[in-house]
Amino acid sequence: MGNNGGVPRDGGRGGTKCSFLLSMNILLLVIQILVPALYYSLHSSVGSTALLETASGGNSAKAPGSGVPPPPPPLSRQQKVLTKATEGENGGDSSRRGPASGTFNGFNVYYRDPSASPDAAPLHSTVHCMGENFGERSWLYRSCEFRNLCFDMIDREFVLFRSAAERSMNEAFLSHEKREYVSLSSSMENVSVSLGGINPQWGWKPNQSEALEYWPTVIEDELNEGYYELASDKVMVTFHSMAAVNVGHLLWDDFFPIFTLLDMFQLARNDLVLIRYVLKNRPRALWATCDLRDNTQQLCRKFFGKFLPLLGVKAEKQHTIYDSILELYGGQEPKSKYVCSPKGAVGIGTGLRLCS
C-alpha cells in the first residue's frame, strides 16, 4: 500500500501528503456511515422499547381512552410473504406496482414485458461518461454511468441496448470529417473504462494491465421482449478487485474508488448491487488478485464479507458475474435471461484512486 514507484520526487513529502489525504477521507467516510447508523439505531431502540412496554402492560402503557392507538396485530404468515414480495429492500419502492417476481442476488426484481402492452416503450440504454483526457490510455481515467444497464444470466456479461436515436447520432458522428477532434460523452461507440485499479507490478506487456480495459456488450437494437428489472432505488456496479487479499488495498483501491464513482454521479444514496468481475480475456488471473488461487479466493471472501458493510452492502450479497443468481418466487421458470437495473456505473481506474 506504500509508494510503488520508489522514492517520491519531492523527497518524501508526497507520501506524507498522501497519508494525510487518506486519513482525512477515511475519517469523513466513517462519519458519513456512523452518524446515520447511530441515529437510526437509537430511534429504532426507543421505538422497540416503547412497543414492548405497551404490549406487556408496563408503566409506559397508555390507558384506554388516552387517544393513543394500540399496537397493530402481528402479521399472519401469508401477510408476511405478500409484504416481502411487494416491498423493496429498504421499505419498498413506490414506483413499482404489483408483487415482485423474485430476487437477483437478494434484491427484488419485477418482470416487465414491453410487448404485452401497445403503449409500453421498448427498453434502451443511455450512457454519460466523465474523466476524458484524450490521451493514449484515456480509458484508465474515464468513468461512466448508465440508464438501463442489464446483466445477461446466460453469457454472464453486462449488456447495453442501443436506441434508434443513438444509432443515428453515431452514424452522423462517424461520417464527420473532423470526428478525431470530438469526443462524445454520451456515445457507446469507441469508448472503454478500467474495471479496477492498476497494480504497477502487472506491467504493460500484452494482456497484463490492458486486460482491465472493458466495455459492456452493445446490442444494436432496443429490447422489445420481457426482462427482470431491479427497483429504481438500486444501482448496479461491476468492478475488478486489484488486491482484496490485503485489507489496505481493499479499502484504498476498491472501496474508495467505488464510493467516489457513486458520488460523482450522485448515486451514493441508492442501494448498491455490487458484482465483482472475473476477467475472461486471459487464461489466468492477474498476480495478487482474488481469482489467482483457491486461498486468495477465500481471503477475498473473508475480507469482503467483513468490510462490505462500509459500503452499505450485506456480506451475504457479495457476488461475482459467475455466481450471481436469479431466484423466482413460486418455482417459476425464467421468462428472460436479462436482469436490468435502471441505474448503473463502471470505471474505477487510475483517475479515481486517491493517490494514483
The cell numbers describing 193, all together, are 473504462
The cell numbers describing 319, all together, are 457476488
At residue 134, the 3 state secondary structure works out as: coil
Cα–Cα separations (whole angstroms), residue 102 to 111, 120, 229? 9, 22, 10
- Separation between Cα atoms, residue 217 and residue 238, nearest integer Å: 14
Amino acid at 142: R
Q: What is the pLDDT of residue 8?
A: 40
Q: What is the pLDDT of residue 315?
A: 86
Amino acid at 231: A
Query: DSSP secondary-structure letter at 75?
Result: P
Tell me the DSSP string of 230-273: E-TTEEEEEE--S-TTSHHHIIIIIIHHHHHHHHHTT-TTSEEE
Q: What is the mean pLDDT of each run of 10 residues along the chain (356 residues)?
A: 41 50 62 56 46 42 50 50 43 60 97 85 94 88 96 98 83 66 73 93 90 96 96 97 94 94 96 97 93 94 94 91 96 96 94 54
- Separation between Cα atoms, residue 302 and residue 235, nearest integer Å: 24
